[in-house]
């Protein structure tokens, strides 16, 4: 099985993340008081990489965390027979911090809504921004990303697969036909 198209190669993923890191610095006038929180699963390594880039560019260690949104989903009765709960770890105080929520793909917006609810239950950040590697459209909620690696208009019967070195051994973004994956 092969993807319909390769949207981002390894180098392009790297460049997209570098650009996002610059945009984060630009918008926040530096990296002080920032925090990066990755949404399970692939948002976590992407958040870690952005933190590394911010550190290289600004000389600031930006704290990172991981967020599982399972208990906040609005489709828990449909998503799986037994939705799996993963680890949430935010080992710093959110108060007065500007949090950048990081995910791989922005689609309906429901994951981000759940993540916002989960995050606000953990504390009261000064603000929350959203960074995604791919925005594929089809929003069902009024949510938009502040930082986007690649805007990718898609059809509903297409699947965007993001692969990252840390879990998949390679960095790439691919477009697949849903039928081909069934």
Partner 1 sequence: MNAPVSMGPRPRNLLDFQDWTPERLTAILDNADTMLQVLDRPVKKVPALQGLTVCNAFFENSTRTRTSFELAARRMSADVLTFAAGASSVNKGESLRDTLEVLTSYKVDAYIVRHHASGAAHLVAKYSGKPVINAGDGRRAHPTQALLDAYTVRQEFGSLEGKTVAILGDVRHSRVARSNAELLPKLGAKVVLCGPATLLPAGLAALPGVTLTTDPREAVRGAHAVMALRLQRERMTGGFLGSLQEYADTYQVNERLMQEAESGAVVLHPGPMNRDLEISGEAADGPRSRILKQVENGQAIRMSVLYHLLVGRE
Per CB under 8 A, residues contacting partner 1 are: 68, 70-72, 76-85, 87-88, 117, 121-123
CA distance linking residue 165 with residue 131, whole number of Å: 19
Tell me, what DSSP letter sits at residue 71? G
CB-wise, 5 or 181, nearer to partner 1?
181
Which residue in the block uniquely carries the two structure tokens 């290289």?
Answer: 56
Whether the Cβ atoms of residue 161 and residue 147 lie closer than 8 Å to each other: no
Q: How far is the CB of 90 from partner 1 (least distance, A)?
A: 10
Q: How far is the CB of 69 from partner 1 (least distance, A)?
A: 10
CB-wise, 63 or 146, nearer to partner 1?
63
CB-wise, 22 or 73, nearer to partner 1?
73
CB-wise, 60 or 122, nearer to partner 1?
122
Q: How far is the CB of 94 from partner 1 (least distance, A)?
A: 10
Exposed / middle / buried, residue 177 (Cβ in 10 Å: 0-12, 13-18, 19+): middle
CA distance linking residue 65 with residue 91, whole number of Å: 7
């Amino acid at each position: 099985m092969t993807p319909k198209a390769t949207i981002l190669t390894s180098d392009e993923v790297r460049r997209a993340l570098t650009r996002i890191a610059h945009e984060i610095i630009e918008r926040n006038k530096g990296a002080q008081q920032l925090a990066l929180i990755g949404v399970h699963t692939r948002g976590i390594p992407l958040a870690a990489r952005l933190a590394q880039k911010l550190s290289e560019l600004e000389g600031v260690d930006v704290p990172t965390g991981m967020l599982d949104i399972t208990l906040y989903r609005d489709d828990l009765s449909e998503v799986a027979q037994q939705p799996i709960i993963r680890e949430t770890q935010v080992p710093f105080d959110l108060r007065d911090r500007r949090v950048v929520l990081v995910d791989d793909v922005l689609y309906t917006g429901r994951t981000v809504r759940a993540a916002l609810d989960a995050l606000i239950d953990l504390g009261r950040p000064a603000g929350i921004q959203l960074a995604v590697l791919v925005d594929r459209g089809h929003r069902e909620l009024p949510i938009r990303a502040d930082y986007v690696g690649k805007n990718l208009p898609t059809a509903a019967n297409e699947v965007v697969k993001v692969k990252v070195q840390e879990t998949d051994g390679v960095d790439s973004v691919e477009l697949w036909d849903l039928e081909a994956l069934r």
